[in-house]
Chain A
């Protein structure tokens, strides 16, 4: 952390997977809970079903979230949770953005 702040913005890496506004929202909400289902993220982010699915896939490919699908009362039910990697990526993104914008 101290090193990052001294190095300056040139050395900072902004994770583009996290940086996308919709995905940033998803990660922010997942970071304050243990896990959340698809409907919760739909209601919180205001994204469409298709949009949320697409961003969910990107985050899962990056290893930032884990997705658990099951059938509940004969309906598909999807739970999402941040992985340790995802939590770390989110925290790093926030630190880097603070450093970057702190220099402007």
Chain B
């Protein structure tokens, strides 16, 4: 007979509850879908604002939906380090991919240059997969696959289909699926955690 509080499971449950709200899913879905839509329009310079939109929605959602329902924590130093390391890793990954694509174009490397959007999809997928690992949210692994397939698949499709912007459509569909899933997760979260009735 043994007695052991499963502290790893308790920690997992604590941090998992903050990704149960689906807001990360919605933010990713909106950013990807909006980017796909913008590819069909001009000016594409507004792409930078889309990222802010996604972050804004995530932040407002946390403040108005999540925190009033499940409260708020200050993460442990260990978790803060993991979050910082993730942010740094994603930044480095993004920079490496960006510089790599630029250099390959300059060097005339057709392989990388022609499939640069597929590579971008891979980088995004890697970032989302890392987020899945950090947040212990298995559904984010599926989003990583969706992102890679829509970017890489869309790029390949675009080389054969010329009647419409196949890449943009592929991205919109991928982003839309993630967004829809996020909304379902959010609704389930709001039902599971109603606002507590706090006595005065």
A contact residues vs B (CB 8 Å cutoff): 24, 28-29, 31-44, 49-50, 79, 94, 97-98, 100-102, 104
B10 close to A29 (CB less than 8 A): yes
What residues of chain B lie closer than 8 Å to A49, measured between beta carbons? 196-199
Q: Give which listed residue, B10, B69, B76, contacts A43 with CB less than 8 A.
A: B69
A40 close to B70 (CB less than 8 A): yes
Nearest to A102 among chain B residues (CB) is B2
In angstroms, how far is the closest chain B Cβ from the Cβ of A26?
12
Counting CB contacts under 8 A, is B107 at the interface? no
B70 close to A39 (CB less than 8 A): yes
In angstroms, how far is the closest chain A Cβ from the Cβ of B197?
8
Nearest to A90 among chain B residues (CB) is B5
What residues of chain B lie closer than 8 Å to A43, measured between beta carbons? 17, 69-71, 193, 196
What residues of chain B lie closer than 8 Å to A33, measured between beta carbons? 14, 73-76, 79
Counting CB contacts under 8 A, is B72 at the interface? yes
Alpha-carbon separation in the docked complex, A64 to B52 (Å):
42
Interface centre among A34, A97, A100 (most CB of B within 10 A): A34
| Size of the chain B interface, CB-CB below 8 angstroms | 28
B10 close to A34 (CB less than 8 A): no
Contacts A39-B196, A40-B71 given; does A98 touch B10 at CB 8 Å: no
Counting CB contacts under 8 A, is B110 at the interface? no
Q: Report B3-46 residues with CB < 8 Å from chain A CB.
A: 3-5, 7, 10-11, 13-14, 17
In angstroms, how far is the closest chain A Cβ from the Cβ of B17?
8
Counting CB contacts under 8 A, is B68 at the interface? yes
Nearest to A32 among chain B residues (CB) is B11
Alpha-carbon separation in the docked complex, A79 to B11 (Å):
18
**23 A-B Cβ contacts within 8 A?**
A28-B5, A28-B7, A31-B7, A32-B76, A33-B79, A34-B74, A36-B72, A36-B73, A37-B71, A38-B71, A39-B67, A39-B69, A39-B71, A39-B72, A39-B196, A43-B69, A44-B17, A49-B198, A79-B74, A94-B5, A101-B1, A101-B2, A104-B1
